[in-house]
């Protein structure tokens, strides 16, 4: 597929709030489960295209800590789908030189899903291509609270002075330690909120929202988001440099 934006104008790290699976299914008179199943196909499409374009990292919001409020039947299906996806996609991940990581709390996740997550992370750890980070049972506020507890414990044990606490130090205590912050945050299905996703890390991310529901999100929508990103001036709180006369 033709895509002519220079590599240096592309984001290093893309984060995606994959929204609209249930809406997509409802519009077609299908059960919500079918929307989630269709959404898994979009994950592969977007992952493959990011790998082809040389994107360094793709972080996908798969299951938020707030999603536990959903009906038990839907949650059971989502977790089973996750487990099956990890098993079925493992050979594809390894063949494409993709490295998988995941962030979020282990507590509450079923043993089967944890086993397959850990196994995919282990088998792909040496891969050097696109890093796909799955946010599962994840919440940005909970992540920050956990990081602060780690820092507080280090201070309590006398291993860290309070005045030594800095932004980089706290970043190193987050689930995303060692990852670059997202340059571009994409949200599908038209919702204009960040939904407790990577709250610390997206401080300077460019936002791109589309009305397209996640199961219909494909290479064309990804390219549109990347073209919008490439056309923006990223100032990080500063001013544009004056043009040379």
Spans of all domains in the chain: 9-229
DSSP code, position 205: P
pLDDT tens series, the chain, 245 aa:
567 899 899 999 999 999 999 999 999 999 999 999 999 999 999 999 999 999 999 999 999 998 888 889 999 999 999 999 999 999 999 999 999 999 999 999 999 999 999 999 999 999 999 999 999 999 999 999 999 999 999 999 999 999 999 999 999 999 999 999 999 999 999 999 999 999 999 999 999 999 999 999 999 999 999 999 999 988 766 656 554 44
Distance CA 181, CA 172 (A): 12
Crossing angle between the packed helical segments 111-124 and 72-95, to the nearest 10 degrees: 20
Yes or no: say if 61 and 195 are a contact pair by the CB < 8 Å rule.
yes
Paired tokens of 170 = 């706290």
Of these residues, 21, 67, 118, 137, which one is catalytic?
67
Residue 197 has φ and ψ, to the nearest 5°, of -110, 120
Return the pLDDT at 104: 97
19 tagged catalytic: yes
The distance of Cα 224 from the centroid of its chain, to the nearest Å, equals 18
Distance CA 42, CA 81 (A): 14
240 tagged catalytic: no
The CATH architecture to which 9-229 belongs is 3-Layer(aba) Sandwich (3.40)
Tokens 């940005």, located at residue: 140
């Amino acid at each position: 597929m033709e895509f002519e934006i220079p590599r240096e104008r592309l984001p290093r790290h893309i984060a995606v709030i994959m929204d609209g699976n249930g809406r997509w299914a409802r519009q077609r008179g299908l059960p919500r489960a079918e929307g989630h199943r269709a959404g898994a196909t979009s994950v592969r499409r977007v992952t493959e295209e990011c790998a082809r374009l040389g994107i360094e990292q793709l972080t996908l919001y798969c299951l938020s800590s707030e999603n536990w409020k959903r009906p038990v039947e839907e949650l059971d299906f989502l977790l089973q789908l996750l487990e099956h996806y990890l098993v079925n996609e493992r050979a594809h991940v390894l063949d494409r030189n993709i490295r998988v990581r995941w962030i979020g709390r282990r507590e509450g996740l079923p043993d089967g899903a944890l086993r397959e997550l850990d196994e995919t992370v282990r088998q792909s750890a040496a891969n050097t291509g696109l890093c796909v980070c799955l946010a599962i049972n994840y919440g940005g506020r909970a992540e920050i609270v956990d990081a602060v507890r780690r820092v507080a414990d280090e201070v309590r044990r006398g291993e860290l002075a309070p005045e030594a606490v800095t932004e980089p130090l706290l970043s190193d205590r987050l689930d995303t330690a060692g990852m670059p912050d997202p340059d571009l945050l994409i949200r599908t299905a038209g919702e204009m909120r960040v939904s407790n996703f990577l709250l610390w890390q997206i401080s300077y991310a460019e936002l791109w929202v589309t009305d397209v529901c996640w199961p219909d999100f494909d290479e064309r929508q990804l390219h549109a988001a990347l073209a919008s990103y490439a056309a923006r001036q990223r100032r990080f709180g500063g001013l544009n440099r004056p043009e040379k006369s």
